[in-house]
Amino acid sequence: MRALTYHGKRDVRIDTVDDPKIEQPTDAIVRVTSSGLCGSDLHLYEVLGPFIGEGDVLGHEPMGIVEEVGAEVTNIAVGDRVVIPFNISCGHCFMCDHGLQSQCETTQVREQGMGAALFGFSKLYGEVPGGQAEFLRVPQAQYGPIKVPEGPIDERFLFLSDVLPTAWQAVQYAQIPRGGSVAVFGLGPIGEMATRMAQHLGAENVIGLDLVPDRLARAAAHGVRTIDVSAVDDVGDAVRELTDGRGPDSVIDAVGMEAHGSPVGKLVHTLAGLMPDAVAEKVMQTGGVDRLGAFVSAVESVRRGGTVSVIGVYGGTADPLNMLQLFDKQLTLRMGQANVKHWVDDLLPLLTGDDDPLGVETFATHQIPLVDAPQAYEMFQKKQDGAFKVVFKP
């Protein structure tokens, strides 16, 4: 089959690789019909190369048609249309029982000290072949796949794999009071979807911050009050001006470790990319490698007694935090990988009705053949051609 594989920093290629096969009785094989390109994929493309093997298949936002199931898979059948959550969870361990599927004890990558295995996301998370491919082996298929109806286009359901549950969790963790205020740092796919969900759930003052004009305009078009962070002297002051001088009840950091405006973090990323993989891996496992600009601004902007929800991915282990400020402002801080299956029952009713309240069918800006994926990665990273959300069609 054809698949997108990693070959080095900013070097991904379409290769012919072996078709996946059933390896465990809880496996399924899915023929991929659509697969999203995520901002987290750019972390692999740019920053986390030391943790990826050459030839690893990328991608963690797939959906498709079931082609084969293992002997212990009874919840789905050949021919079913399914979405595959990006995290791999068993559904019966302590963590899954507590709604923490991203910490599944059956698939935890213990040798790396990490949580549940992820599709297409380096040896830190199990080095499981990903979904930017024609076919995908799905471990724990007795629980993971989300069966969806026939009829609507893929984009109606595809984002259940990551974008929708990730943004939903970000909003839930933010604890926005009904009628309250929230500022979302970063208007990429997760942040922009989080603004839509906050509006849907009753937030009256939704503020979006970014520096990409297309993204600011996209959010403003559905009623978000936007701030161009490149055009203000003090981000915190700009946010407070829109929230009675106090700051919002909640802030969502949807940027993560690649925030602009953090020269020290950028330097560390660059230097790590020049090191031999074994050395860079050790530095990244023990050092503070994140650009913390968005997180620092989130803490600065939120009102006292407010909540900061972090859904942007961070990777440093020795990052400096202003504990005095966090403590003095009496803040609540919540974060983590999305527990996809935990949120499916909340999200499916928003996708299966006649309307499209979250605008998922028009959310993607580009549908691109899988064979053109390498060029799409470059376009997406450089934010060219209005690239906001890319979907590959194998």
Per cent of the chain over pLDDT 90 is 81
Query: Considering Cα of 92, then 107, then 116, then 371, what sign does the dihedral take?
Result: negative
All domains of the chain in start order, with CATH? 2-161+339-393 (3.90.180.10), 164-335 (3.40.50.720)
pLDDT tens readout for residues 19-30: 999 999 999 999
> Would you say residue 271 has pLDDT above 50?
no
Amino acid at 100: L
The two three-digit tokens of residue 169, written as one number: 């969790």
Q: How many CB atoms lie within 10 A of CB 92?
A: 13
Closest CA relative to residue 218, chosen from 236, 243, 191, 251:
191
Give 269 or 111, the one with higher predicted confidence: 111
Task: Kindly indicate the confidence band of residue 256, based on its pLDDT and cuts at 50, 70 and 90.
Answer: confident
pLDDT, average across residues 106-131: 95
In sequence order, the β-bridge partners of residue 229 are none
pTM for the structure as a whole: 0.91
> Would you say residue 263 has pLDDT above 70?
no
- In this prediction, residue 67 carries a pLDDT of 98
Tracing tokens 């609540």 back to the chain, one arrives at: 332
Task: Kindly indicate the confidence band of residue 258, based on its pLDDT and cuts at 50, 70 and 90.
Answer: low
pLDDT tens readout for residues 350-381: 999 889 999 999 999 999 999 999 999 999 99
Q: How far is CA 200 from CA 29, 131, 250, in A?
A: 36, 30, 16
> Would you say residue 211 has pLDDT above 60?
yes
**CA 97 – CA 242 distance, rounded (Å):** 41
- In this prediction, residue 46 carries a pLDDT of 79
Give 44 or 222, the one with higher predicted confidence: 222
- In this prediction, residue 172 carries a pLDDT of 98
DSSP type of residue 54:
T
What are the start-end ranges of the E strands in 122-239? 135-138, 146-147, 181-185, 205-210, 225-228
SS3 (DSSP) at 202:
coil
> Would you say residue 260 has pLDDT above 60?
no
- In this prediction, residue 81 carries a pLDDT of 98
pLDDT, average across residues 211-234: 97
pLDDT tens readout for residues 277-308: 554 455 444 444 456 888 999 999 999 999 99
Of 72-76, 222-226, 258-262, the range with the lowest mean pLDDT is: 258-262
Per cent of the chain over pLDDT 70 is 90
> Would you say residue 259 has pLDDT above 60?
no
